[in-house]
């Protein structure tokens, strides 16, 4: 018997498009597609679709990834929320009801709720809320979960994405945070999260976060300090979208690999990753090389051995190796001594300029 496909390529029809944020620095749209029965039926919270904004353009080859914000199986519809940042999203914003677009999905892994969780903390920055909406219903179907705390942050009140729609969900605690204090908590959404955790010790919490990388990094630190398990939805630029090209790679910890980390594919291994799995912090190791070294060959060797980003400044003869904070300089040097023939007299270590 043939296995039913789990990813579909379809021509979807734009049913509706409306602008939900319109400020000089942020243009956000919500778009509903018809003809998406298969995707709507299979989509799990946190999964995404690739959308080709303009099939006739030379730039059409790469689909753009967007989270499935809402899926309505009975109507065969899915909805996305997108911010205009470049060519593809600008093209999408010009679409009209009735236009046909190629969509591939559902893609990626989606969120996993731990079985013993009692309090769920959803943290969204900007359009990150699109990754989290599906999780709200999933949380309410769990018998254990007492409260779903939802944090939505933006620079100003006008730039908050979907605050009114989310407020209509029943049995949730909604916290809005704006950097200018024009709505809700005055400050970063991560400070609002810290305030809740400080004032209300929670029994078995779990954090789910989506938004800009600096926000995710801050959430990861809060989760670490409070010993709370969690997951993040990562964003990266994508090419194939199905795990074949490594175009979307992000660094993740991996005890099995020699340097303690490897690359995870956001499209296939993610976009959802355990919060502690992502390499958030990089450090720079700087070595001033003695004159005799054949630098071209040496740099290639260092790249191959460490898998790190390596830069060389010819004028100062300084090699900079960008490595995860969990891997010590000693470990890198040991690998270089053993595998590249590097000797102690070939270099002097310089202090990190960071």
Ligand X SMILES: Cc1cc2nc3c(=O)[nH]c(=O)nc-3n(C[C@H](O)[C@H](O)[C@H](O)COP(=O)(O)OP(=O)(O)OC[C@H]3O[C@@H](n4cnc5c(N)ncnc54)[C@H](O)[C@@H]3O)c2cc1C
Residues lying near ligand X in the complex (CB under 6 A) are found at 48, 64-67, 80-83, 85-89, 127, 130, 235-238, 266, 271
C-alpha closest to that of 342 among 282, 299, 310: 299
Name the residue with the smallest CB distance to ligand X. 86
Stretch that binds ligand FES, among 86-94, 99-107, 186-194, 238-246 (CB under 6 A): 238-246
Nearest 5°: phi and psi at 158?
-65, -20
Cα–Cα distance, 14 to 123 (Å, whole number): 29
Closest separation in Å from C-beta 131 to ligand FES: 17
Please tell me what DSSP assigns to residue 46. Answer: T
Q: Which of the listed partners (ligand FES, ligand X, none) does 349 bind, with a CB threshold of 5 to 8 Å by partner kind?
A: none
Number of residues that bind ligand FES (CB under 6 A): 13
Q: Where are the beta strands (DSSP E) in 35-94?
A: 48-52, 64-67, 70-72, 77-83
Reading across the β-sheet that carries 172-178, which strands appear in turn? 185-186, 172-178, 147-154, 119-125, 205-210, 230-233, 272-274
User: Is residue 267 at the binding interface for ligand FES, with CB under 6 A as the rule?
Assistant: yes
Q: Which of the listed partners (ligand X, ligand FES, none) does 66 bind, with a CB threshold of 5 to 8 Å by partner kind?
A: ligand X
User: Is residue 247 at the binding interface for ligand FES, with CB under 6 A as the rule?
Assistant: yes
Task: Please list the alpha-helical segments (H only) found in 43-120.
Answer: 87-93
Pairing of strands 26-34, 309-313: unpaired
Stretch that binds ligand FES, among 122-130, 260-268, 280-288, 297-305 (CB under 6 A): 260-268
Q: Candidates 241, 285, 289, 340: give the one binding ligand FES (CB under 6 A).
A: 241
Closest separation in Å from C-beta 250 to ligand FES: 10
Q: Which of the listed partners (ligand X, ligand FES, none) does 127 bind, with a CB threshold of 5 to 8 Å by partner kind?
A: ligand X
Please tell me what DSSP assigns to residue 228. Answer: -
Q: Which of the listed partners (ligand X, ligand FES, none) does 245 bind, with a CB threshold of 5 to 8 Å by partner kind?
A: ligand FES
Closest separation in Å from C-beta 267 to ligand FES: 3
CA distances from 159 to 45, 139, 178, 181, 310 (A): 24, 26, 9, 12, 39
Nearer CB in complex with ligand X: 49/120: 49
Cα–Cα distance, 31 to 267 (Å, whole number): 22
Stretch that binds ligand FES, among 83-91, 93-101, 121-129, 244-252 (CB under 6 A): 244-252
Q: Which of the listed partners (ligand FES, ligand X, none) does 244 bind, with a CB threshold of 5 to 8 Å by partner kind?
A: ligand FES
Q: Which residue has the tokens 């989310």?
A: 166
Find all residues with CB under 8 Å of 98, minimum gap 6, and list them: 13, 14
Q: Which of the listed partners (ligand FES, ligand X, none) does 29 bind, with a CB threshold of 5 to 8 Å by partner kind?
A: none
The residues that touch ligand FES, with contacts defined as CB under 6 A, are 238-241, 243-248, 265, 267-268
């Amino acid at each position: 018997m043939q296995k039913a496909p789990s990813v579909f390529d379809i021509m979807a029809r734009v049913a509706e498009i409306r602008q939900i944020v319109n400020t000089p620095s942020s243009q956000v749209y919500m778009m509903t597609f018809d003809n998406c029965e298969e995707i709507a039926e299979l989509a799990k919270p946190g999964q995404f679709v690739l959308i080709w904004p303009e099939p006739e353009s030379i730039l059409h080859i790469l689909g753009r990834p967007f989270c499935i914000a809402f899926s309505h199986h009975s109507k065969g519809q899915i909805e996305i929320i997108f911010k205009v940042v470049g060519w593809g999203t600008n093209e999408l914003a010009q679409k009209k009801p009735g236009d046909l677009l190629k969509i591939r999905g559902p893609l990626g892994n989606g969120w996993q709720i731990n079985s013993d969780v009692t309090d769920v903390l959803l943290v969204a920055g900007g359009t990150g809320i699109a990754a989290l909406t599906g999780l709200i219903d999933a949380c309410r179907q769990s018998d254990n979960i007492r409260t779903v705390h939802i944090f939505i942050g933006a620079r100003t009140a006008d730039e908050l994405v979907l605050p009114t729609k989310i407020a209509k969900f029943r049995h949730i605690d909604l916290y809005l945070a704006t950097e200018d204090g024009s709505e809700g908590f005055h400050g970063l959404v991560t400070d609002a999260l810290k305030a809740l955790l400080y004032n209300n010790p929670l029994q078995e919490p779990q954090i789910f976060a989506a938004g800009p990388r600096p926000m995710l990094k801050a959430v990861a630190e809060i989760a670490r300090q409070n010993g709370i398990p969690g997951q993040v939805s990562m964003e990266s630029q994508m090419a194939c979208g199905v795990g074949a090209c490594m175009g979307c790679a992000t660094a993740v910890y991996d005890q099995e690999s020699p340097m303690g980390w490897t690359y995870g594919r956001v499209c296939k291994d993610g976009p959802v990753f355990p919060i502690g799995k992502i390499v958030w912090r990089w450090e720079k190791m700087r070595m001033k090389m003695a004159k005799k070294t054949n630098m071209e060959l040496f740099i290639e060797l260092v790249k191959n051995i460490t898998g790190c980003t390596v830069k060389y400044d010819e004028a100062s003869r300084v090699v900079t190796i960008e490595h995860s904070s969990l891997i010590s300089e000693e470990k890198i040097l040991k690998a270089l001594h053993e595998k590249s023939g590097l000797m102690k007299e070939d270099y002097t270590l310089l202090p990190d300029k960071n």
